[in-house]
Structure 1
Amino acid sequence: MPAVASSPIPAVLGPLDADRIADLRPYLESVPDPRSRRGRWYALTAILLVCACAAVCGAKSIDELAEFGERATNSLLASLGIRRRLLGWRRSPKPVTIGRVLQALDGDALDQAVGAYLANRHRITASADVPAARSRQAIAVDGKALKGSARPDTPRRHLLSAVTHDRVATIAQVEVGVKTNEVRHFKPLLAPLDLAGTVVTFDALHSVKANITWLVETKKAHYIAVIKTNQPTAYDQLAALCCDRIGSPGWRS
């Protein structure tokens, strides 16, 4: 995970009470700690929970992540897992500590943990919504460059994500390296997800026979591959098929 650039601290960050904290702890505990065992005061899960709560409240830089912890009440810090000092008070990690941890962290492991949490929350919400529960769930797979991730010596980082169509949530995400492409990350991205009966949508780039076969036969999912005119060969081949083999012709537009 790239370090977050510093920016001016806003006058007020949004409030967050202990009772409103989503329990990410079981998911974040699966993220490996990159630090040596010696000299640790803060648990990795506690640091990540502070960052998660601060981000929900509007923090956009390391300084703001740390500021949230400084403004948090003792009871809130306790619920986040911040250890108590000798005199009974708790102190949130400083910006330098947060920055070092985030820079050394395994970004893919963190993405998997947060994605698993969001996927579970999405299932719970969908099951509570009767009309949504009766309809087929849909997930879009797409890749985008990460805004603000470029550095003088490196290009912007590229992410491949799985996003729900309804109640939009990113339930899986992996980084695509500069020496590879999105197609190779298609299976690793979707492998941890329960896709039985789900409709997966993607563009022409992922219309690879091996990936589609795996999606249908192994994951028991359905799919819609969007083929546009910027892929003229595939588009013309599909346009030449009989409509009863491909459904409504309007899907090609």
Structure 2
Amino acid sequence: MAITIIEALQQVKDFRAKRGQRYPLWVILLLVVLGTLNGCRSYQALEEFAQRHYQALVNHLGLSCQRLPSDSTIRRALMGVDFAQLAQVFVNWAKPYVEYDELGWFAIDGKGLNGSIVAPCEAHQQFVNLVSVFSQSQGIVVAMESYRSNQGSEIEVVAALIRALDLQAVTYTMDAAHCQKNG
């Protein structure tokens, strides 16, 4: 039996100290998911989304808070969350809802995440990359993995994603960088 998105988000380890917590981490993550699905592209937009839908969210989720998290609370929470764990929890939650189309097409691509650069003045900039596998027939991302530019390569991550998906008779499209003889 599949679990709900809330049960899945509750599996993400809360890195915060217990003292001073106003909101469970899963509430903040759920607001990010719902807000993003509704077109929110900034922390301020997520806060405004939470304010607009306060009554419905509090009633439906059974929360007893006077207000929902501010943009700065959301930002601090997202900065500390282990993205690899969050991505794995999300993929595990979504897996039962995804029908893998045998003989289907899957696009794989990696992108550097805006705003993730560490030490921008150094010759070799360090940033977070996200590699995703997109199902052409369903129009959804079926798997994703992140890595730091100084700790891995897109080629390694793509190979690991393909092994993990273990799909037969499908076609993958990806950048020419993946056309390695020994890769």
What's the TM-score once normalised by structure 2's chain length? 0.76
- Note if 1:116 corresponds to 2:92: yes
Q: Rate the CA distance shift 1:64–1:40 in 2: closer, same or farther, 3 A.
A: same
Deviations 1:214-241 (A, max 9, x none): xxxxxxxxxxxxxxxxxxxxxxxxxxxx
Tell me the distance in 1 between the aligned counterparts of 2:105 and 2:41. Answer: 30
Deviations 1:24-81 (A, max 9, x none): 22332232111123332311111111111111222111111111111214232343x4
Amino acid paired to 1:74:
Q
Tell me if structure 1 keeps the 8 A contact 2:133–2:143.
Answer: yes
Tell me the distance in 1 between the aligned counterparts of 2:62 and 2:45. Answer: 18
Q: Rate the CA distance shift 1:195–1:27 in 2: closer, same or farther, 3 A.
A: farther
Query: Which of 108, 116, 121 is 1:141 aligned to?
Result: 108
Q: CA deviation at 1:101?
A: 0.5
Q: Rate the CA distance shift 1:41–1:68 in 2: closer, same or farther, 3 A.
A: same
Tell me the distance in 2 between the aligned counterparts of 1:192 and 1:39. Answer: 39
Q: Rate the CA distance shift 1:94–1:189 in 2: closer, same or farther, 3 A.
A: same
- Note if 1:25 corresponds to 2:10: no
Range with greater deviation from structure 2 (99-108 or 158-167): 158-167
Larger radius of gyration between Structure 1 and Structure 2: 1
Query: Which of 158, 163, 182 is 2:154 aligned to?
Result: 182
Unaligned runs of 5+ in 1: 1-22, 127-132, 212-253
Q: Calculate percent identity across the aligned residue pairs.
A: 26
Query: Which of 40, 57, 76 is 1:100 aligned to?
Result: 76
Query: Which of 165, 174, 177 is 1:193 aligned to?
Result: 165
Q: What is the match of residue 166 of structure 1?
A: 137
Amino acid paired to 1:182:
E
What SS does structure 2 have at the residue aligned with 1:173? strand
RMSD: 2.9
What's the TM-score once normalised by structure 1's chain length? 0.57
Amino acid paired to 1:102:
L
What SS does structure 1 have at the residue aligned with 2:110? strand
Unaligned runs of 5+ in 2: none
